[in-house]
Amino acid sequence: MTYNSKLATEFLDELFDAILLLENREECYRFFEDICTIKEMQAISQRLQVAKLLRANKTYHEIEKITGASTATISRVNRCLVYGADGYNIILDRIGNIEKDKK
């Protein structure tokens, strides 16, 4: 099954194909340090942490305190978890499976 994103463009396809070619964490750091600003990387990683905490049933106040994210960001991530394209849920499930396997 192919996902048909409303955002799909040739440029985005090439970006995602490039990301899929990264083989390890070091390559990810190297690529993302070149392609993103520090603020962009921090914002993306913050959103992933917010999503993890929302799935762990933390309150907005707790999440704000832990991550420094605004309530607007927390609300947006929550909307994506509930009504979005399921991207957060896919990756959070996989992260959860990796963490289980480490134990």
Domain of 62, CATH number, reads 1.10.1270.10
Distance CA(61)–CA(69), nearest Å, equals 10
Polymer length in residues for the chain: 103
67 within some domain: yes
Residue 2 lies in a domain: no
| Two tokens, residue 31 | 């690529």
- Whether residue 5 lies inside any domain: the answer is no
> Has residue 73 been placed in a domain?
yes
Residue 69 placed within a domain: yes
What digits encode the pLDDT tens for the residues 25-80? 999 999 999 999 999 999 999 999 999 999 999 999 999 999 999 999 999 999 99
The answer to whether position 46 is within a domain reads: yes
DSSP string across 9-29: -HHHHHHHHHHHT--SHHHHH
Q: What type of residue is 45?
A: S
Give the pLDDT score at 37: 97
Structural domain total, the chain: 1
> How far does CA 72 lie from the centroid of its chain?
16
Which range of residues forms the domain containing residue 47? 10-102
Q: What is the pLDDT of residue 48?
A: 97
Q: What is the pLDDT of residue 77?
A: 98
- Residue linked to tokens 């607007």: 72
First to last CA, the chain: 33
